[in-house]
Amino acid sequence: MKKELCIIIGSGGLAKEVYSLISNIKRYKVLGFISREKKNKLIIDNIRVLGDEKFLIKNFKNLNLIIAIGDKKKKKTNLQKTFK
């Protein structure tokens, strides 16, 4: 079975938890994380922050996105900037 590719938006504790859950399902392959704060840093299992939302929009189309930002204000701000 071919795994679906996805990217996790966020890079904190919730993003790590979401990654762990997704890894156990084995349906998805996580390409990386999207974050303004930790660009190019290793997060978990050799998976890195790929870049910020501008990088996401510029480089990826038709990809599964998983929003893993726990803070409501940060989530709203991030989503508004990404999908305006």
Read off the pLDDT of residues 39-56 as tens digits, 9 standing for 90 and up. 768 778 889 999 988 888
At position 24, the amino acid (one-letter code) is: N
Nearest 5°: phi and psi at 72? -60, -45
DSSP 25: H
DSSP 29: E
pLDDT tens-digit map of 8-33: 999 999 999 999 999 888 889 999 99
pTM summary value? 0.83
Give the contacts of 83 (CB within 8 A, at least 6 positions apart): none
Domains, the chain, ordered by start: 4-82 (3.40.50.20)
8 Å CB contact between 71 and 10: no
> What is residue 7's predicted lDDT score, i.e. its pLDDT?
95
